[in-house]
Amino acid sequence: MIDAEQVKAVVRMPAPQRYEYFVKRVASSGTVWGLYRNGWALAKKDDGTLVFAMWPDEEFARLCAEFEWEDYEPHAFSLDELLGELLPQLQQDGLVPGIFRTPGSKGVMPTPGLLRVDIEDELRSLDA
C-alpha cells in the first residue's frame, strides 16, 4: 500500500516516467492492476484501437474508476498472467496495453511486445 502523498507525486509525473515506474513496480511486486466489472475496463485510441488499461497499484486504478468506469473495481492479476496470457492475447486481438492512465492523461500505449521486453529487462536487472 502506498500513501496519499506518494500517489499525488507519482500521478503528477509525465507519462513516460509513470511508464518507467509501472515497469519497475510490477517487476518487483509481481502484481498488475486493472479495473473490472463484467469485463475489463477498455479505452479507445483516436484510431479506434482498443486499449486494456492497467496500473502498478490498486490506488492508481481506483483514481480512474470514474465516468464510464465509475462502477468498476480495482482487480489484481499476476505478472505471470500478464506475460504468459494477457500480452499474447492482446497481440492476437489487436489491442494495446494502456499503461498508467490518470484522470488527466491517457498514459503510455506501447505494443504488447515492447511492454514484455521492458518488463523482462527489469526482471533481469532485479536478478543481477
CB 13 within 8 A of CB 111: no
Domain ranges of the chain: 4-115
- The residue-averaged pLDDT of 80-91 equals 98
Q: Domain 4-115 is classified in which CATH homologous superfamily?
A: Uncharacterised protein PF11572, DUF3234 (3.40.1350.90)
Q: Which residues contact 45 (CB under 8 A, 6 or more apart)?
A: 51, 96, 109
Residue 68: pLDDT band by 50, 70, 90 thresholds? Answer: confident
CB 106 within 8 A of CB 19: no
- Statement: residue 119 has pLDDT above 90: yes
Query: What pTM was computed for the model?
Result: 0.94
- The residue-averaged pLDDT of 58-82 equals 95
Q: Report CA torsion sign: 73, 13, 128, 86.
A: positive
Question: From the CB of residue 77, how many other CB atoms can be counted at a distance below 10 Å?
Answer: 16
Residue 128: pLDDT band by 50, 70, 90 thresholds? Answer: confident
CA distances from 89 to 78, 79, 84 (A): 15, 14, 9
**Residue 90: per-residue pLDDT:** 98
The type of residue at 36 is Y
In the chain, % of residues over pLDDT 90: 93
